[in-house]
Chains A and B, each alone.
Chain A
Amino acid sequence: MNEEYYLELRENPVQFEHASSVNNVFFDEANKQVFAVRSGGATGVVVKGPDDKSSVAFRMDDKGEVKCIKFSIGNKILAVQRTTKSVDFINFIPDFPHIEFSHECKTKNASVLGFCWTNWNEIVFVTDQGIEFYQVLPDKRSLKLLKSQSINVNWYIYCPETSVLLLSTTVQGNVLQPFAFKSGTMSKMSKFEIELPVVPKPAKLSLSERDIAVATIYSDLYVMYLKHHSRTTNSPGAEVVLYHLPREGACKKTHVLKLNTTGKFALNVVDNLVVVHHQSSLTSIIFDIKLQEPDCPVNVHQAVLPGRSIHPFKIPRTGPAAAPSQAPVICELYSSTWSVFQPDIIISASEGYLWYLKVKLQPTLNLLQDKGKLMDFLLRRRDCKMVILSVCSQMLVGEEKGSLPVVATVFDKLNQVYKEYLDAEQTYTVAMESGPSRSSSSYKRPVRTQAVIDQSDMYTHVLSTFTERKGVCHKFIIAVLMEYIRSLNQYQITVQHYLYELVIKTLVHHNLFYMLHQFLQYHVLSDSKPLACLLLSLESTYPPAHQLSLDMLKRLSTANDEIVEVLLSKQQVLGALRFVRSVGGHDNVSARKFLDAARQTSDSMLFYTIFRFFEQRNLRLRGNPGFNQGEHCEEHVAYFKQMFGEQALMKPAAV
């Protein structure tokens, strides 16, 4: 069971003083900071952020109950809302006076619903009658109105990642008006309507902000609507409806996630997966909106994996009572005091914890049987590399051994991603070479994600161990290797020679020389010097390997020296000489090398022939058949004289 928890609360949660009658807790989604405000700030405000740098502690005067408290980006200015009319500011910039100042909203009779920082010094007030966009001038201790818009607002949601503010308007609250903010400018995006399951009569506010969340999934902004089950419609359960919110253009309903159950839900987005927590069953399910090829305007998705609880979380005991022997307390999961924030935050105000939710990929291996689908799922995850490699290893061994078509599908999926990366890299390189001045800005170096599994990864983590494993049928090993090579070829990826070596070693190990011969015949194993050398080493066990190797070297046409060496080592001196002559290198070769080899054969006629050849060469090049000092052939000249007599030496041409 333990290996089936695919969701867990990340370690080292942010701990803060839990909420109580004297301690109010606030969370700022933009900076991901938790504010513990004791007694209105008089006895201290403790701010805990995701890292130590963003954690601050300070005191402020108790000027009434705090409704909302947030730092501007970079902890420069603190904004505190205590009344429905105004927001107070405190400077946190070093060297600036640490004095509070207050700003009242511009619109008469409006009450401030809240505010959000869009920059270190820009803030939006959201009132029930519209929004006011201000620039804060900390030195002047005043605010400058940049823009305002009047509109009836029921509630609002702000997405700090994209700086998009979503306002609920109209009586039913189901018409959403988004605004986008960018350094001093505010732009109105096209509004859209959320389809309600039942239209209430008379009209009343029917869309609650608890059922709406905004998050970025696969770099697109989505508005997620938790559509509760209604008895009047025939849907078997609640669903999550995703509205795609583009920067420009109309917002469209694009995905429906079927929950197939009813009750209380909460949403998170982790690693581009939509996580839906279900309180009554204490389980969560995940959806991947890309797992299904988009085939119609609205795609209906089912959960990728069966529902599972979040991995139990143990709270270590702290404080003076803590003793090592005491077991840690098991934290209550799916508690009603939990608050869930986008994208991946869960806060338990009563316990004083802020967790980040995490998807564990390893358990998905056993939960998702369809290996092709599993690969599609894994390839889109962030930390997928080792898990993918373990899927590959797993499918090749043991009882869960996959059939070859499955293996082929998995390889094809991996290599498709690999190829896309290689192509992007190639395009980038070409663009850079053609002149960075022209288009340096438009080309970004492609990011190599973990999903890019290259040949060396496969070799190191999967294939080399697999081929050395005992008890695996060699037929299957070769089939798998060939399947991988086929897949690489299909995507026109150059196969690295170490893969070929693996094939050759496996074939040789099982004495399948004729198979090897055929592979070489069809150039399945592409030519390379290392491969030719490997073949050469096989000669003692399989004599034709020698010729195969020589042929390969010849085809490479960059290995002429090697060919000569190979031939000489086989005492094929004449063959070596003929080859050198055929490639036109006979004027530059070392005479000594050939004469050495000829002498080793103890074939005096061969030695005579070779000697004569070089004499003729000398005559042609220098007008004299004798050898130069530098050629170090004295020993051979002496031997020649001894064998055939002085008079056999070629005479210098008569002048």
Chain B
Amino acid sequence: MLCVFFSPRMASGMQEKQYTPSLLSFFIYNPKFGPREGEEEKKILFYHPSELDKNEKIRSVGLCEAIVQFTRTFCPTKPAKSLHTQKNRQIFYEPEEHFWMVMVVRNPMIEKPNKDGKPPTIEYQEDEILDSVYGAVLQQCYSMYKLFNGTFGRAMEAGGVEMLTQKLEKFFYRYLQTLHLQSCDLLDVFGGISFFPLDKMTYLKIQSFVNRVEQSLSLIKYTAFLYNDQLIWSGLEQDDMRILYKYLTTSLFPRHTEPELAGRDSPLRPEVAGNLLHYGRFLTGPASLKDPDAKIRFPRIFVNTEDSYEELHLIVYKAMSAAVCFMISAAEDLTREFCEQLDSLVGPQLTLLASDICEQYNINRRISGSVLISLTLRQTPRKCLALLALLSSNKHTIGAHIKRNICYFDSQRSQACALFQYSIYTI
């Protein structure tokens, strides 16, 4: 994985302190909502940090508004996109007409202690920050909001400013916490989708699977197929898929990896016990189909907001490393029967397909000159590492890599265990 961190440079002295870029404030406003003096607060739809003084909020919004207005006189279609200052960077973005999103990022800095007890000198590294990266991050914030809530305009139509502010509050309160500004990099600019390398025949099999499921369960409007967090097929258009992919790989999947790696009798694997025919399970929606009281509710997403503006149920279903997203019009009422039908239809096929893909993928790797040995061991961490070291020292082994490790409590042996899944590449 490629990671470009704003990592500390080689420090010359031990006392130097480094600060990574961090989010100072984030706000959304619409200048049309409080045009008269004294009503400025009405313009603000969302402000983080919320505990900031009201006047302070109004002042920063006013500043942004002024800058945008001022720069518009030079180029009416392209007003200012960012404001560079010594201490921070402000990014402006107008996703919908008159709706402005602003993100203020503190520049990374180095604190150099001074001798003689003087206060330390602070060196702001404003060149370390790229407008394109943070501009993309801001746009992503909007896209992610839109994926789950639809456009600002629609919310206004449905329930006025009140509804919009509620939605913004609800979404961004959590979302901003997951924004790791220090690890944003060029990859965020492209919002790229990583595709899974696959041979033609297996790819066609996946096509065939998707088509069959869509035919049998005609409610399904779009399907996306992923393997190992990489995309193989998307029925959605690229822009929508890009943001959905971001959500899946950075938020949904990381929350659900554990059960696969756990042994069959592990407590982390509650769902599989009743169904040994396949490994399929829902990542969204009901935790268990067995529970008759559990509500059948799936997250809703908004796609094609430019033209058809569709609201969809998002069903994410996974078997081993293969994950499928089924998207169904939100107008449809999803019943337990439907979920059961989907589970029984998709589960076995997807399990088979996942092992097919895995096998094919390994064959392809072998062809390219290396052998992948994948082992899942239930061992103590120390033993695992020792084994790994042993295998690594084998002259044919060119590398080893621990994929994931999870610690859990083994009730039978009454001891803590670690579960390792790792790959060893050999010649």
Residues in chain A within 8 A of chain B (CB atoms): 403-405, 408, 475-476, 478-479, 482-483, 485-486, 489-490, 514-515, 517-518, 521-524
Contact = CB atoms under 8 A, between A and B. Distances in A.
Interface string B191-202: 000010010110
Contacts of B235: 515
Contacts of A490: 201, 204
Interface stretch (B51-59, B95-103, B211-219): B211-219
B233 A518 contact: yes
B198 A522 contact: yes
Contacts of A485: 204
B71 interface: no
Interface string B168-208: 00000000000000000000000000010010110111011
Nearest to B213: A404
Q: Top 8 A-B pairs ranked by shortest CB distance? A: A479-B211, A486-B204, A522-B203, A404-B212, A482-B207, A514-B238, A404-B215, A514-B237
B203 A524 contact: yes
B224 to A, nearest CB: 11
B200 A489 contact: yes
Interface in B230-247: 233-238, 241
A508 B215 CA distance: 21
B204 A518 contact: no
Given A482-B207, A490-B201, 6 more contacts: A475-B215, A483-B211, A486-B204, A518-B233, A522-B200, A524-B204
Interface centre among B201, B204, B234, B235 (most CB of A within 10 A): B204
Nearest to A517: B238
16 contacts: A405-B212, A475-B214, A475-B215, A478-B211, A479-B212, A482-B204, A483-B211, A486-B204, A486-B205, A486-B208, A490-B204, A514-B237, A514-B238, A518-B233, A521-B195, A522-B203
B234 A518 contact: yes
Contact of A479 (B198, B200, B214, B234): B214
Nearest to B238: A514
A218 B195 CA distance: 51
B233 A524 contact: no
Contacts of B205: 486
Given A404-B215, A524-B200, A483 B234 contact: no
Contact of B211 (A482, A521, A522, A523): A482
B200 to A, nearest CB: 6
Interface string B348-374: 000000000000000000000000000
Interface of B: 195, 198, 200-201, 203-205, 207-208, 211-212, 214-216, 233-238, 241
B200 A514 contact: no
Contacts, number: 53
Contacts of B207: 482, 486, 524
Contacts of A482: 204, 207-208, 211
B204 A479 contact: no
Given A518-B233, A518-B234, A404 B204 contact: no
A475 B223 CA distance: 12
Contacts of B212: 403-405, 479
B3 to A, nearest CB: 25
Contacts of B201: 486, 489-490
Nearest to A480: B211
A387 to B, nearest CB: 26
A486 B208 CA distance: 8
A86 to B, nearest CB: 73
Nearest to B231: A518
B192 to A, nearest CB: 13
Given A486-B208, A518-B233, A523 B200 contact: yes
A483 B214 CA distance: 14
Contacts of B216: 403
A405 B211 CA distance: 10
A133 B408 CA distance: 91
A514 B238 CA distance: 7
A521 B214 CA distance: 22
A403 B212 CA distance: 8
Contacts of A479: 211-212, 214-215
B352 to A, nearest CB: 14
A514 B241 CA distance: 10
B312 to A, nearest CB: 16
B360 to A, nearest CB: 13
Given A476-B215, A514-B238, A521-B195, A404 B208 contact: yes
A142 B54 CA distance: 132
A403 B218 CA distance: 12
B333 to A, nearest CB: 22
Contact of A514 (B198, B203, B211, B234): B234
B342 to A, nearest CB: 16
A521 B207 CA distance: 14
Contacts of A478: 211
Most buried by A among B203, B235, B238: B203
A184 B216 CA distance: 66
A408 B207 CA distance: 12
A482 B204 CA distance: 7
B212 to A, nearest CB: 5
Nearest to B214: A475
Contacts of A404: 208, 211-212, 215
Contacts of B215: 403-404, 475-476, 479
B406 to A, nearest CB: 33
A476 B218 CA distance: 11
A93 B204 CA distance: 67
Contacts of B195: 521
A359 B211 CA distance: 37
A416 B101 CA distance: 60
A521 B196 CA distance: 11
A408 B204 contact: no
Nearest to A490: B201
Contacts of A521: 195
Contacts of B198: 522
A403 B208 CA distance: 12
B17 to A, nearest CB: 47
A110 to B, nearest CB: 70
Nearest to A492: B201
Contacts of A405: 212
Contacts of B200: 489, 522-524
Contacts of B211: 404, 475, 478-479, 482-483
Nearest to A525: B200
* Highest count of chain A CB atoms <10 Å: which of B198, B211, B237: B211
Nearest to A476: B215
A515 B224 CA distance: 11
A475 B234 CA distance: 14
Nearest to A486: B204
A595 B421 CA distance: 61
A344 B145 CA distance: 76
A518 B216 CA distance: 23
B88 to A, nearest CB: 38
A408 B205 CA distance: 11
A401 B212 CA distance: 14
A522 B241 CA distance: 17
Nearest to B236: A514
A569 to B, nearest CB: 27
Nearest to B235: A515
A490 B203 CA distance: 11
Contacts of B214: 475, 479
A543 to B, nearest CB: 13
Contacts of B236: 514
A405 B205 CA distance: 12
Nearest to B212: A404
A396 to B, nearest CB: 12
Nearest to A485: B204
B136 to A, nearest CB: 20
A373 to B, nearest CB: 20
Contacts of B237: 514
A515 B235 CA distance: 7
A4 B175 CA distance: 68
